[in-house]
Amino acid sequence: MDGFTKLAPAIWLREPALSPSSPLSSLPSGLPPPSLVVLCTWVGAQPKHIAKYVAEYLDRYPATALLVLESNLADMTYRGDSAQQARLSPARHVLQAHLQPGLTSEGIVVHAFSNGGAQCAAQVVAALPPAQRATAFRAIILDSCPGEASYTRSANAILLPLAKSPMLKLLAFPFIHLILCLVFIADHVFGFENVVARARRGLNSSAYIAYAVPRLYIYSSADQMVPAPDVEAHAQRARRAGYSDVANLRFEASGHCAHASRNAEQYWAGIARLFDRSNIIAQG
């Protein structure tokens, strides 16, 4: 990824490179932007897809560091929590560096995409010590997530990146269905909580994200991977749990993780409003 430093497999960091004339903020209020944005991608996201979000953040918030965490099939199926958090230790160190007193004060934003990104976000939050979680985050953005666990939708989401390679898709098909069968048997027969359910629970727990942290759900009526009712149910549970600033941005025609490309102006305006609200809350 151009301009990024690879910290570990699937973990990339870009620190801002500002000239003396570079603007520190493009928020409507003129308040400072976040210190760090963590992009937790969907499973199978290609560099060209990630680059579009990176380019927008660089253009709009040049003083903000970007941390990209690529989610993967192993984390969504067989890799346990402790192994995932160990894998994310370089990311944890970046978050902790941005939480050092006197260094940066604008806070951290987590921007997660799809169920893969939601579960990655939950894991990187969990990797922080509890005392740091309480003040670490300025805002949470949940794009096309979190959904409910569904065998068919999970299989379709995993196979989607292989659509342009029919032979690879054919070879992967039985393996993916075998893994999903085992996961759903463990969940429904033996009572082991699946990763999607754990992510949904974690993202609505004050043990992970403080109640005061604003959040924005971005989703669509046309999304076939994560239906709008799944997202809205999670948002409603967040409000009932005690989260006081929960916003919904619902589109009608954009597909899964395609809302920014179909509705760019509304998408980024919604994020700017979220950043403004989070800044006002942080400044008391």
CB-CB contact of 65 with 14 (8 Å): yes
For the chain, what is the mean pLDDT? 86
**Domains defined for the chain, CATH in brackets:** 5-19+30-149+196-282 (3.40.50.1820), 151-193 (no CATH)
List the single range of 113-122, 129-138, 168-177, 230-239 with lowest mean pLDDT.
168-177
Copy the structure tokens of residue 97.
Answer: 């560096």
Apex 187 CA angle, 182 and 189, nearest 5: 85
Query: Higher-confidence residue: 237 or 21?
Result: 237
CA dihedral sign, ordered 193, 197, 200, 201:
negative
Q: What are the strands of the beta sheet with 137-143, ordered from one edge?
A: 5-8, 11-14, 65-69, 36-40, 108-113, 137-143, 215-220, 246-251
List the single range of 22-31, 96-105, 155-164, 250-259 with lowest mean pLDDT.
22-31
Whole-model pTM: value is: 0.86
pLDDT at 227: 93
Query: Higher-confidence residue: 4 or 283?
Result: 4
Going by pLDDT thresholds of 50, 70 and 90, the confidence category of residue 69 is very high
Query: Higher-confidence residue: 56 or 195?
Result: 56
Map tokens 């939601």 to a residue: 118
pLDDT of 22 over the 70 cut: no
pLDDT of 94 over the 90 cut: yes
What share of the chain in percent tops pLDDT 90?
Answer: 64
Going by pLDDT thresholds of 50, 70 and 90, the confidence category of residue 21 is very low
Residues 153-163, mean pLDDT to the nearest whole number: 63
Nearest to 33 by CA among 7, 59, 3: 59
Going by pLDDT thresholds of 50, 70 and 90, the confidence category of residue 159 is low
| Other Cβ atoms closer than 10 A to 74 | 13
